[in-house]
Structure 1
Amino acid sequence: MEIRAAREGEQEEIINLLADVFATQCRPRYASQIYQDSSYHLEQSRVGLVEGKIVSHLRISDRVVSIGDTTVKLAGVGMVATQADYRQQGYASALIIDAISYMEKHDYDLSLLFTTMQPFYQNFDWSAFPQTTVELPLELEETFPLSPWECRKFEIDTDLQSVMQIYQKCQHSGSIVRSFQYWRDGYARQVGIIPSLVIEDSGQILAYANLCLGVDDSGTDPFLAQGYPNLREVGWTPDRPESLLALSRAILNQAIQQKISKLTGHLPPYHPLTVMLIRESQSTPSFSINQKLMYRTVSLPKLLSKMKPTLQSRLDRSSFYRNALKKETPNGVNSFCIMVACQACTLQILSGRLEVIADQSGTTKVLLSPDEWIRILFGDLTFPELQNLRVLDQLDISDSELQILNLLFPKSQHLHSVCDYF
């Protein structure tokens, strides 16, 4: 099999392959991913050919993702398909290996994909990341008052800039950084990024919601619309907490009007909107966890180098480090070698200043599985929690070192919008 980048004139062959392997009804989405995604370049489509025929395909989407205060380059893996007659022959594996090489060559820091085939991708060091889904049963009949707030339909030509600003304020680790063009692309409409409603106060937009309640005529891909939760994405103005109350009531009102019996969304249990919806509806939620998101660290040293300002800031903001931990450090030096699979990188702290070194010179060896590392990176797991989980194989580090690592990689919420699909 020949593996290479797609060439001009092969776009329709790729789209036909995807529609044949997955679903004909989703053909408009596959076409929009190629023709209506402004970040797309032909070399991002990696193809496998047998006797000149494209029998396997994988696309790498060029994205940027937030990790704390840092943004890093993300390779989104999607549109992975192999013709039925050519499966179980190693073609998809060969494309994955080619894609990893492409990511390394083009300086990506992380990779993300969505799948139910976790064991296959784990063979190539992708790690499943837990994502919480909330289900909130509704038995409401009377709508909630919104005054003085106004709830109305989103208008892209007049409302987009305000919604973009709110989205940026509400970003978490795991959130995709969206440019103006990203919001405007035809592909964005196919995957349902466009909000359905906004909340206004005296002409100022302070919140928005992306809902799929009742009949969905937004043009979203039918397969995704069926698989998405009905509460896709929300945003509000953090320094106007009353906007969160208005948003939750507007969402509940929409559900009541559409006679929706249950709200679902990929939201953590202690997400502010989750808490507010529970309070306002007086309903008892249920939570479940899926692991369809999978991350892979492309280059550990490059990733940590980009995160250096954020890591340094976390140390600088900690009075506990300045007043206690720093004094306990012998010779004023802490040196950690973070080891994940076949990658390693040293974090050295000298008199409170952090350096990232692309080697294994760190005195304290911190050996992590890819799953543990990804959860620590995004704040889903802390080093003290990991120490407690490792009953038989504890981290061989001192209590003060454990606390320093906890400062560098603190607990936080990961939030990736279901609409940022590729």
Structure 2
Amino acid sequence: MEIKQANQINIKDAVKLSAEVFNSSFLNTSIMKEEQFSYKNIRLLYEGKKLVSMACVLPREIYIDGIKVKAAGIAGVATAPDERGKGYAAVITRDALEFIKKEGYPLTYLNPYKTSYYKQFGFSPVMFPFKVMDLDDKLKIQYGYAVKKADPLKKNNIRTMAQIHEKFCADKTGPVVRPLNTWVLGCKYIHKEGLSEGVGISPAYIAYKNKKACGYLLMGPVNHIEKNTLKISELCYLPGHEEAAKALAAKAFEYVKQKGLNKIYYDNGKGIEIEGSRKPVKKEIDLYITPKYIRMYRIGNFEGLKKVIVPLILKRFKKAGINGTFDMKRTEKGPRGKITFYYNQKIIAQVNEGIFMKMVLGIKYKAGSNSKILKAAFPLLKPLYMDFDFL
């Protein structure tokens, strides 16, 4: 058994295995054409001359409270069909995590096919908030915006949406930074695979005011299982154009009615609140929460994360009028570490890595302490999930 990084020769083995397992060409048509692509990020496990398992490490950045944090996505974990059940996927996943740590990425994340499997590697599931809009409720159509249906695969529309997306996410938590190149490659991949309506990017609408694009909306199915459902997969707008979001939502409702449905789902993060919407009931939660929706997070390189988070916390302290020092340390405890927080060199709380991930992302957490200090250090941020984040 030998682990190798990809090169110009053995990458052919990876492309072949990926296509065999996923019935998709995403490795060579999307990942390998990204500006940040490097052969060393494709991790390969060989038994003799045979490639038995692989994993792709994708350089990314995640918005956390308005700052960009380097992160590594893990995708394309694949094992040859006739080699499964031998633990190869676990070996290559652990190698990918060690590689991510050595490369200094503060965070790592993935969209799991099976949540329970990735818990053994220290990943913690994070479920983002969402809401439901019943079409019986009337949404006041906002005048002053012209909403037009758009082809999400055309470069000029991609460029327009990318610019709006970047400005909208500038103060958010959760979305992945999406360079124009990554967006274009993702759309090309979707087009090549023969996908169109119902993949989370179509139909698409753009809102204009005085001929200026001010917001956009993407739609798609709630998940790959419940096809006869629809959700707003992305709704972004420029600062000062909140009314554009309402106009776009009204257009989405029209589309839903045409499909004969009586409700629409949407991810409810900071900046996304549609008038008249409600919290989901249990049946809707069970339908919505699938592996596609859950994202799992883990510390990559703790010291790298600390260099980002501690200055952010001190900035929050200053805003709250709190004086003093803050520090945090991690001790190994199985696959998940234990995080200890210090204020003025005194311990104020200890949490496991799963809770820590929630704290970093600003999701409601229980840390065994209700101190003013801890709440100021890790406020609730109402993070936002976006379907069209290319992992």
Q: 1:16 to 1:157 in 2, by over 3 A?
A: closer
Mapped pair 1:300 → 2:302:
yes
8 Å contact kept, 1:340–1:373: no
- Give the alignment partner of residue 363 of structure 1, picking from 324, 346, 349: 346
Question: Structure 1 234/145 Cα, relative in aligned 2: closer, same or farther at 3 Å?
Answer: closer
SS in 2 for 1:131: coil
Flag the 1:195–1:414 CA change in 2: closer, same or farther, 3 A.
farther
The worse-fitting range, judged by mean Cα deviation, of 39-48 and 5-14 is: 5-14
Q: Does the Cα contact within 8 Å between 1:336 and 1:364 map onto a contact in 2? A: no
Cα distance per residue 1:348-401 (max 9 Å; x no partner): 666xxxxxxxxxxx431632112111111111125xx433xxxxxxx5xxx6xx
Q: Which consecutive unaligned segments of at least 5 residues does structure 2 have?
A: 191-198
Where in structure 2 are the equivalents of 1:315-354 lying within 5 Å? 315-319=317-321, 321=322, 326=323, 336-339=327-330, 341-342=332-333
Deviation at 1:137, TM superposition (A): 4.6
Identity %: 20
Q: Distance in 2 between matches of 1:227 and 1:258?
A: 9
8 Å Cα contact 2:115-2:125 kept in structure 1:
yes
Q: State the AA in 1 paired with 2:246.
A: L
- Give the 3-state SS of the residue equivalent to 1:153 in structure 2: strand
2:111 aligned to which of 87, 106, 114: 114
Question: Which residue type is aligned with residue 357 of structure 2?
Answer: I
Residue 148 (structure 2) pairs with residue 152 (structure 1): yes
- Aligned-residue offset at 1:303: 0.6
**C-alpha contact (below 8 Å) 1:207/1:243 kept by paired residues:** yes
Cα pair distance change 1:154/1:189, threshold 3 Å: farther
2:363 counterpart SS class: coil
Give the whole-Å Cα distance in 2 for the aligned partners of 1:225 and 1:78: 24
Question: 2:274 is aligned with what amino acid?
Answer: V
Using the TM superposition, give the Cα deviation of residue 80 of structure 1 relative to its aligned residue in structure 2, in angstroms. Answer: 0.7
Higher gyration radius (CA): 1
Distance in 1 of aligned mates of 2:132 and 2:86: 41
- Correspondence for 1:415: 384
Change over 3 Å in CA distance of 1:227–1:8 after alignment to 2 = farther
Letter in 1 for 2:185: D
2:173 and 2:382 in contact (8 A); partners too: yes
Deviation of the 1:3 alpha carbon? 1.0
Match of 1:376 in 2: 359
> What residue in structure 2 maps to residue 15 of structure 1?
15
Partner of 2:206 in structure 1?
A: 198
TM-score, structure 2 length as denominator?
Answer: 0.81
Contact 2:350 2:367 in 1 (8 A): no
Query: Residue 249 of structure 2 corresponds to which residue in structure 1?
Result: 248
Q: Counterpart in 2 of 1:236?
A: 237
SS at match of 2:175: coil
Distance 1:251 1:381 in 2: 30
The one-letter amino acid of 1:208's match is Y
Q: Which residue of 2 aligns with 1:89?
A: 86
Distance 1:262 1:16, change over 3 A: farther
Is contact 1:45–1:59 with CA below 8 Å preserved after alignment?
A: yes
Give the structure 1 partner of residue 195 of structure 2: none
| Cα distance in 1 for residues equivalent to 2:225 and 2:231 | 11
| Equivalent position to 1:80, from 71, 74, 77 | 77
1:301-337 deviation line (CA, Å, top 9, x unaligned): 2212123332222111114x3xxxx5xxxxxx55554
1:203 is displaced (CA, Å) by: 0.3
Aligned to 2:47: 50
| Counterpart secondary structure, 2:75 | strand
Cα deviation, 1:11-58, whole Å, max 9, x if unaligned, reads 443233233323x3xx23344234443332222111111221111111
Distance 1:207 1:178 in 2: 16
Q: How many angstroms apart in 2 are the aligned matches of 1:104 and 1:380?
A: 24
Q: Is the 8 A contact 1:45 1:58 kept in 2?
A: yes
Contact residue 339 and residue 368 of structure 1 kept, 8 A: no
Is 1:59 matched up with 2:56?
Answer: yes
Alpha-carbon distance change, 309 to 40 in structure 1, aligned in 2, over 3 angstroms = same
TM-score (norm 1): 0.76
1:167 corresponds to which letter in structure 2? H
SS at match of 2:177: coil
Q: How far apart, CA to CA, are the structure 1 residues paired with 2:77 and 2:310?
A: 34
Contact 2:339 2:353 in 1 (8 A): no
How much has 1:69 moved relative to structure 2?
A: 2.9
Query: How many Å separate the matches in 1 of 2:136 and 2:183?
Result: 35
| Structure 1 counterpart SS, 2:356 | helix
Alpha-carbon offset, residue 65 of structure 1: 0.6
Q: For 1:128-207, what aligned pairs fall within 5 Å after superposition?
A: 128-138=125-135, 147-154=143-150, 156-171=154-169, 172-186=172-186, 190=190, 196-207=204-215
Give aligned pairs, total: 369
- Return 372-381 or 156-165, whichever deviates more: 156-165
